[in-house]
Amino acid sequence: MALSMTGFGQGEAANNEYRINLSIKAINHRYLEIYCKIPRNFSFLEEGIRRELGKRLSRGKIEVLLEIKKFTSNDNLVEPNTPLAASYLKSLRDLQEKLSISGKIEITALLSLPEVFTVTAPAENIELLETATQTALEQAVVQLLEMRTAEGRNLTVNLTERIAFLEKQYLELQKIAPLVVGLYQEKLTKRVAELTQGIEIDPHRLAMEVALFADKADISEELTRIKSHLQQFVNILVTDKSIGRKLDFLIQELNREINTISSKANDLKIAQIVIDFKTELEKIREQIQNIE
């Protein structure tokens, strides 16, 4: 079953210290690219998120938004560096004595000096954070995959119908192709008769010309490959693996074969079928760009 690369999922988890809200948005992309929007203080959670998504997804542009609410205090801890302040004060008094400066040393003079106070951010409970994040991530991934699967079913139905149309076009080509040489021989004989006005023409020369045309216009090999590619497409479409790149390759090959037929066949009916075939191929190509 085809999986769409488009989808959305969200999850939530909470404990006595944190509430985690995590959302995932996915769109089509040739490779797997993951972008995480995480508060700077909690950037250490990104590695685990990337690792888990890499196990579950193979293609797509993935955007992860992580929001964290902390129930405990976020205030930084400010503490005086008493030994350093005492050293500053002693140095100031020594300087005051050596330079014969009178007056008191104000506390503001000490406060303006570097590192008199140390500021420490509160420690985060990494284990609780990682557990809650993984719980929210699992919920979000499950929702994302459910949406991708549902959209994949719709894509599979649509592509199956379009391939069925191409198979009908293939059968029509197969039916018309053997008639092309006969029609050409008939037109050539009639045209030569009109131009020569009753003069006898060497039938071997005429037969040689028809034979050359038949060889040039032979599309049997292209039709055989088209049949094979269409069958492969159907078989791949019902597998449960990452199939987008395989389907894209088959569409390129089908396009190559139908272009060859277009350049070979000198027939209006075949030319019209080729146009319809290529139009449908383009629609299929657009659809499979969204398949994982």
Nearest-angstrom CA–CA distance, 159 and 162 = 5
Return the exposure string of 213-231: e unless at least 16 CB atoms fall within 10 Å of the residue's CB, then b: beeebbbeebbeebeebbe
Return the exposure string of 176-186: e unless at least 16 CB atoms fall within 10 Å of the residue's CB, then b: bbeebbeebbe
Q: What is the pLDDT of residue 78?
A: 74
**Is the pLDDT confidence value at 109 over 90?**
no
**Is the pLDDT confidence value at 141 over 90?**
yes
Nearest-angstrom CA–CA distance, 92 and 97 = 9
Q: What is the pLDDT of residue 104?
A: 81
Q: What is the pLDDT of residue 252?
A: 95
Using pLDDT thresholds of 50, 70 and 90, give the confidence band for residue 138: very high
Q: Which of 121-130, 176-185, 219-228 has the lowest mean pLDDT?
A: 176-185
Using pLDDT thresholds of 50, 70 and 90, give the confidence band for residue 209: low
- Residue 11 burial (10 A CB sphere; 0-12, 13-18, 19+): buried
Using pLDDT thresholds of 50, 70 and 90, give the confidence band for residue 251: very high
> Can you point out the beta strands (E) in the chain?
7-14, 18-27, 32-37, 60-70, 77-80, 117-120
Q: Mean of the pLDDT values across residues 31-47?
A: 93
Q: What is the pLDDT of residue 108?
A: 80
Q: What dihedral angle (degrees, nearest 10) is formed by the CA atoms of 85, 90, 95, 96?
A: 100
Per the CATH hierarchy, to which homologous superfamily does domain 7-73+127-146 belong?
Imidazole glycerol phosphate dehydratase; domain 1 (3.30.230.40)
**Is the pLDDT confidence value at 271 over 90?**
no
Q: What dihedral angle (degrees, nearest 10) is formed by the CA atoms of 65, 69, 70, 76?
A: 70
The tens digit of pLDDT for each residue in 55-77 reads: 999 899 999 999 999 887 666 66
**Percent of the residues in the chain that have a pLDDT greater than 90, as a whole number:** 49
Nearest-angstrom CA–CA distance, 3 and 213 = 46
Q: Mean of the pLDDT values across residues 246-260?
A: 93
What type of residue is 128? L
Nearest-angstrom CA–CA distance, 83 and 117 = 11
Q: What is the pLDDT of residue 188?
A: 46
Higher pLDDT, 213 or 175: 175
Q: What is the pLDDT of residue 195?
A: 46
For residue 7, the SS3 value is: strand
Give the chain's largest Cα–Cα span: 136
Nearest-angstrom CA–CA distance, 132 and 112 = 42
**Is the pLDDT confidence value at 145 over 90?**
yes
Q: Mean of the pLDDT values across residues 205-234?
A: 74
- Within a 10 A sphere around the Cβ of 209, how many other Cβ atoms? 14
Cβ proximity of 266 and 214 under 8 Å: no
- In the chain, where are the structural domains located? 7-73+127-146, 77-120, 149-288
